Amino acid sequence: MCSVDPNVDAGGDGHVRTIGVVGTGVIGAGWAVRALARGHDVVAWDPAPGAAERLRSAVARAWPSALRLGLFPGADPSRITWVDTVEELAARVDWIQENAPEDEDVKRPLMRTLAAHSAPEVVIASSSSGLLPTRLQDGCRHPERILIGHPFNPVYLLPLVEVVAGGQTSQAAMDAAVAHYDDLVMYPLVVRTEIEGYLSDRLQEALWREVLHLVNDGVATTRELDDAVSYGPGLRWAGMGTNLTFHLAGGEGGMRHMLSQFGPALKLPWTKLVAPELTDGLIEAMAEGCEAQADGRSVEELERLRDDYLIGVMRSLRPLDLGAGRLIAEREARIHEASGVTAWAAGDPVSAPLALYEAPVEPDWVDYNGHMSEWAFLTAFGWASDKLFRYIGIDEGYRADGHSLFTVETHLNYVKEASLGDPLRFTTQVLGVDAKRLHFFHAMEHAGTGELLCTTEQVLLHVATATGATAPILPGPAAALAAISAAHADLPVPPQVGRVMGLT
């Protein structure tokens, strides 16, 4: 009988959870960052000498990426407690994520120890890449709360986590796992049938086996094979996966035509699937190939590059509501909700000017000089406007009901350059509002020095999105804007407002 309560919200109520991270290598450190960015506490243990220090530096390296993805209130990289024994960890935490090496002989006794020393309601999830949960839970105390939560590297950025039940895992524990990973703004994919390698690693490994054969047979180098992915199919996979992509490859006839055209090729011996022997020669060819591709860049440098492009890809999918892009929007909405910057309610005092948004200068905002590009200032102001909209009650729900604000005129004044990572602070002044129009001004300052960097003055129209015609602002936002406008009435008009461009 399971004591895990599926109705307990795994932290979504704002209750701070303590996550136990067992084994703090690549994956354990990634889990630590994801939990810390969510505002949780982490208790960590790893038997290797120097592991505590390595974890702290791994967290420090990953933190800028976590920051770019968005931190929840309370997120703090120093909220890690290192313990000396696995028993102490098990006794102190609300959730256990096990990340020891992929070896059943290591994981099975470890699972038994974790189960023996943790409260029965604590779920123990293994990050295993392919071991069967039935075997990991065998002989454990309260085996019904043991399952697989298989993430992808880097765990702090990639949302997928495969959740796999063993023969003794309860539905309640599975529900708790889905809720927990959802709370970490991940994409929990329940693998309905317990199989070795689960889903993603089966797919990845099929490709990897083929890579090993092609290198082993001298057909191609590691670089050529990576080019064969990253310039083509890899770009498609992020948004649509393999099957929907091939559906389109079949033209109007979709997958049916695709199978009739390319089905016969499936009978040809294109792929081998059984991996080649890992001879010294093959290991050398693989390692030397990758070192040549790295071209002197350290793993740390390549990690930064990978994190930057992963964030870029996920952000580009966001407006299309595709794949991981959905979770970028979801994370932002949840952070906004959790940060307590609630929409204005009747009677709330209004600050003059408003200060609703802060952000660092992002890597994709800077040009070859390391300075913020001219278009990026407008992007950043767009986020400041989004905060204003949320504050007045114009959010996903308002837009889904068919109304939105459209910008019709923008003036930007560039005052001083901003560099990568500079902390930015935005203030907002409402200059005027009527039934259908809004006129406001944002100022962007360096949050450290207080220097003014850029300003924008904008006029927006309130629109019924179904018709594209202007429409009166609905009562809630209209009341909020009236209150803000009244509170800002005595603010001096900034000198950049109403300026006309010219050479005189």
Ligand X SMILES: NC(=O)c1ccc[n+]([C@@H]2O[C@H](COP(=O)([O-])OP(=O)(O)OC[C@H]3O[C@@H](n4cnc5c(N)ncnc54)[C@H](O)[C@@H]3O)[C@@H](O)[C@H]2O)c1
Q: Whose Cβ is closer to ligand X: residue 15's or residue 202's?
A: 202
Question: Which one of residues 33, 42, 46, 177 is an interface residue with ligand X (CB under 6 A)?
Answer: 46
Q: Whose Cβ is closer to ligand X: residue 23's or residue 143's?
A: 23
Q: In whole angstroms, how close is the CB of 100 to ligand X at the nearest point?
A: 4
Q: Whose Cβ is closer to ligand X: residue 131's or residue 405's?
A: 131
What angle (nearest 5°) sits at the alpha carbon of residue 105, between those of residues 103 and 110?
95
47: preceding bond cis by omega (within 30 degrees) = no
R_g (Cα) of the chain, nearest Å: 26
Q: In whole angstroms, how close is the CB of 113 to ligand X at the nearest point?
A: 9
Q: Whose Cβ is closer to ligand X: residue 137's or residue 428's?
A: 137
Backbone φ and ψ of 126, nearest 5°: -100, 140
Q: Is there binding between residue 32 and ligand X (CB under 6 A)? A: no
| Per-residue binding letters, 55-94, with ligand X (x by CB under 6 A) | ----------------------------------------
Q: Whose Cβ is closer to ligand X: residue 171's or residue 204's?
A: 204
**What residues from 465 to 504 belong to the interface with ligand X (CB under 6 A)?**
none
- Rounded alpha-carbon distances, angstroms, from residue 313 to 304, 308, 319, 321: 14, 9, 11, 12
What are all long-range contacts of 181-184, with beta carbons under 8 Å and residues at least 24 apart? 181/149, 182/10, 182/12, 183/9, 183/10, 183/11, 183/12, 183/38, 184/34, 184/35, 184/38
Neighbours of 299 (CB within 10 A): 9
Q: In whole angstroms, how close is the CB of 99 to ligand X at the nearest point?
A: 4
Q: In whole angstroms, how close is the CB of 54 to ligand X at the nearest point?
A: 8
**What residues from 93 to 132 belong to the interface with ligand X (CB under 6 A)?**
99-102, 106, 110, 127-129
Residue 256 CB contacts under 8 Å (≥ 6 apart), including other chains: 250
Pairing outcome for strands 437-446 and 423-433: antiparallel
**What residues from 145 to 174 belong to the interface with ligand X (CB under 6 A)?**
150-153
Rounded Cα distance between 207 and 271, Å, is 9
Question: Which one of residues 3, 6, 18, 25 is an interface residue with ligand X (CB under 6 A)?
Answer: 25
Q: In whole angstroms, how close is the CB of 251 to ligand X at the nearest point?
A: 36
Question: Which one of residues 2, 4, 19, 28 is an interface residue with ligand X (CB under 6 A)?
Answer: 28
Q: Do residues 303 and 153 make contact, with C-beta atoms less than 8 angstroms apart?
A: no
**What residues from 359 to 388 belong to the interface with ligand X (CB under 6 A)?**
none
Q: In whole angstroms, how close is the CB of 239 to ligand X at the nearest point?
A: 22
Question: Which one of residues 19, 27, 124, 157 is an interface residue with ligand X (CB under 6 A)?
Answer: 27
Q: Is there binding between residue 26 and ligand X (CB under 6 A)? A: yes
Q: Whose Cβ is closer to ligand X: residue 87's or residue 395's?
A: 87
Q: Which range, of 42-50, 219-227, 322-330, 358-366, touches ligand X by CB under 6 A?
A: 42-50
Q: Is there binding between residue 22 and ligand X (CB under 6 A)? A: yes
Q: Whose Cβ is closer to ligand X: residue 208's or residue 262's?
A: 208
Q: Is there binding between residue 244 and ligand X (CB under 6 A)? A: no
Q: Is there binding between residue 458 and ligand X (CB under 6 A)? A: no
Q: Whose Cβ is closer to ligand X: residue 47's or residue 281's?
A: 47
Neighbours of 441 (CB within 10 A): 21
Q: In whole angstroms, how close is the CB of 199 to ligand X at the nearest point?
A: 13
Question: Which one of residues 48, 207, 333, 489 is an interface residue with ligand X (CB under 6 A)?
Answer: 48
Q: Is there binding between residue 47 and ligand X (CB under 6 A)? A: yes
| Per-residue binding letters, 410-439, with ligand X (x by CB under 6 A) | ------------------------------
Neighbours of 457 (CB within 10 A): 20
Q: Whose Cβ is closer to ligand X: residue 89's or residue 433's?
A: 89
Rounded Cα distance between 191 and 131, Å, is 13
Q: Whose Cβ is closer to ligand X: residue 28's or residue 494's?
A: 28
Pairing outcome for strands 146-150 and 123-126: parallel
Q: In whole angstroms, how close is the CB of 234 to ligand X at the nearest point?
A: 17
Binding-site size for ligand X (CB under 6 A) equals: 24
Q: In whole angstroms, how close is the CB of 166 to ligand X at the nearest point?
A: 15
Burial of 157 (0-12, 13-18, 19+ CB in 10 A): buried
CA atoms within 13 A on the CB side of 26: 10
Virtual torsion, Cα 315, 319, 321, 322, nearest 10 deg: -50
Rounded Cα distance between 203 and 229, Å, is 14
| Biggest alpha carbon–alpha carbon distance for the chain | 84
Residue 120 CB contacts under 8 Å (≥ 6 apart), including other chains: 3, 141, 142, 145
Rounded Cα distance between 63 and 61, Å, is 6
Rule CB under 6 A: which residues touch ligand X?
A: 22-28, 46-48, 51, 99-102, 106, 110, 127-129, 150-153
